[in-house]
Structure 1
Amino acid sequence: MPVWFVTGASRGLGLEIVKAALGRGDSVVAGARDPRAFDALRSDDLLAVPLDVTDQDQVDAAVAAAVTRFGGIDVLVNNAGRGLVGAVEETSDAEARAVFDTNVFGLLNVLRAVTPVLRAARSGRILNISSTGGVVAWAGWGVYSATKFALEGITEALRLELAPLGIQVTSVQPGPLRTDFLASSSLGQVDRVIDDYATTGGASRTWAGENHGLQEGDPAKAAAAITSLADLASMPARLPLGTSTLADIRGKLAAVAEDLETWQDLSRSSDFVPA
């Protein structure tokens, strides 16, 4: 049965993916800063490992432990991530770098460690957990969306690079899931507040507080959809999850198509024309 390697697995969507994979009878390597989070799961098919994705040495050790215990890795789920809400100007350098360190550079740390295992086997699957915010950016979510836009670019290129080697790659784009992502104890908020952004970035802070626990998405159902990808002969390049995600992405694509049509003459005016 497949061996899953799941980062950010101690709670929320990551934990649901661990449960769903175990429920299928698969083996799971679950990574978290504190592996005691998995004590209640107790299964011979589960290996809990300490994992801070920003620490390359710890990532390498976790992957080595996975290979030693199960002989390899078949499905990598890059789920570790953190949120940040605040207007772009309000966001400090330290706050921006912290979210990029986890969401982008942490993901790259894991890819550098796991991809050689998949290449050696000439098979495997990589599921990078993005967001609706990886396609559509909203006021107050600019830096967070920037990390997910970066993930989308990495995923799109990685898919092309690994396809000839028998490895499939998908970007999973969940909408709001009813986890603790929006909780004040989980979602990062920038320290600086600028009054001019009260109705834009500030409104996003308010929205996050008011909608915690009211999100439309069911994390267990999202995990079931994600784990079902392992059964497909050919995985999609992208998997949006949720009704609002479909609507938001369709709206974004329509707006881009309209811009292309409206401004195509100006766009073409930059072409080099031989004398």
Structure 2
Amino acid sequence: MSKVWFITGATRGIGAELARAVLAAGDSVVATGRKAEAVVKALGTSDRLLVTPLDVTQPGQPEDAVRAALGKFGRIDVLVNNAGYGLVGAVEECSAEELAAQFAANVLGLAAVTRAVLPVMRAQKSGHIFNVSSSAGFAGYPGASSYCATKFAVEGLSESLAHEAAPLGIKVTIVEPGYFRTEFLTDNSAVYARKVIGDYDATAGAMRRGSRAMNGHQEGDPRKLAQAFLTLAAAQKPPLRFTAGRDAVEQLEQTLAARREEMKPWRELALSLAHDGLPKG
């Protein structure tokens, strides 16, 4: 049976490539973006495509988009929470306002759309939620503190949601891409902290320069990632986490190894903290 996909951030990048792949596979798509006309420009028109405006940070808009989806297709089988952006800057450089805006889009917006879709999937007793995280969701990078914080939050929210939703027939997969060749690093997509502190030039400054230099040279192919989403959505037992791209896989392996090594010299201290008299083991 064909599926109905609900994709946020479908104007460009991974969201747009995924929408195209879903339509090519014969499924239906609810494609959303802050400006509906930009989504139409990216995807065109189709009887199996509904384009509806959605700014995930605006109260009421997720519910409006879900109602539009149900009015057109009657169900939502797959939700892809893809909307979000990157903020480059050290912790001290990022203002409270910049940090709040980053969380509003990447975390609170994702949660708002998820809350709007969950009643539909609960009624169906089926569904699959993909939350797009990042390799920055399991590893911290200098100069990406705000972005990493939001993606770490997405990981925790999603893992807890997976436990809550599984008994209801709803699957959850966290997708952790590395660098893919999209518009994510372009100057009209990535955001840079307005404040720049010279003492962080070797860390956050290097991230600024590196991000701009990498734009257009990322290793990952977003069209292949879109096909990976289709494979995961068709799986009987999809993974809780899917780490996407060679760079992300290598980073994960390094992160896990470093965590294990870091714990070794402190393990006995950690295990020694129980009340005296309690049984060991």
| TM-score, normalised via structure 2 length | 0.96
Per-residue deviation at 1:269?
A: 2.4
2:187 pairs with 1:184: yes
Per-residue deviation at 1:230?
A: 1.3
Moved more, 166-175 or 223-232: 223-232
Task: Work out which of the residue numbers 262, 269, 277 in structure 2 matches 1:266.
Answer: 269
**How many pairs are equivalent?**
275
Distance 2:141 2:25 in 1: 37
Paired position in structure 2 for 1:54: 57
Paired position in structure 2 for 1:85: 88
Task: Work out which of the residue numbers 68, 73, 76 in structure 2 matches 1:73.
Answer: 76
Paired position in structure 1 for 2:30: 29
Paired position in structure 1 for 2:123: 120
Per-residue deviation at 1:56?
A: 2.5
Paired position in structure 1 for 2:4: 3
2:244 pairs with 1:251: no
Distance 2:249 2:95 in 1: 32
Distance 1:120 1:64 in 2: 14
| TM-score, normalised via structure 1 length | 0.98
Paired position in structure 1 for 2:234: 231
Paired position in structure 2 for 1:213: 216
SS at match of 1:181: helix
2:114 pairs with 1:111: yes
Paired position in structure 1 for 2:13: 12
Distance 2:149 2:39 in 1: 31
Paired position in structure 1 for 2:99: 96
| 8 A Cα contact 2:32 2:39, kept in partner | no
- Runs of 5+ consecutive residues of structure 2 not aligned to the other structure: none
SS at match of 1:169: strand
Moved more, 241-250 or 221-230: 221-230
Distance 1:82 1:94 in 2: 15
> Counterpart of 1:163 in structure 2: which amino acid?
A
Distance 1:79 1:131 in 2: 11
Distance 1:19 1:172 in 2: 18
Distance 2:104 2:115 in 1: 15
Distance 1:45 1:70 in 2: 9
Per-residue deviation at 1:260?
A: 1.9
2:146 pairs with 1:143: yes
> Counterpart of 2:139 in structure 1: which amino acid?
V
Runs of 4+ in 1 over 6 A off after TM superposition: none
Paired position in structure 2 for 1:242: 245
SS at match of 2:139: coil
> Counterpart of 2:4 in structure 1: which amino acid?
V
Deviations 1:48-72 (A, max 9, x none): 0000001131110000110111011
Per-residue deviation at 1:36?
A: 1.2
Moved more, 262-271 or 234-243: 262-271
- Runs of 5+ consecutive residues of structure 1 not aligned to the other structure: none
Distance 1:30 1:273 in 2: 59
> Counterpart of 1:232 in structure 2: which amino acid?
A
Deviations 1:102-138 (A, max 9, x none): 0000001101100010001100000000000001111
User: Identity across aligned pairs (percent)?
Assistant: 48
> Once superposed, what is the RMSD of the aligned Cα atoms?
0.9
Distance 1:229 1:182 in 2: 26
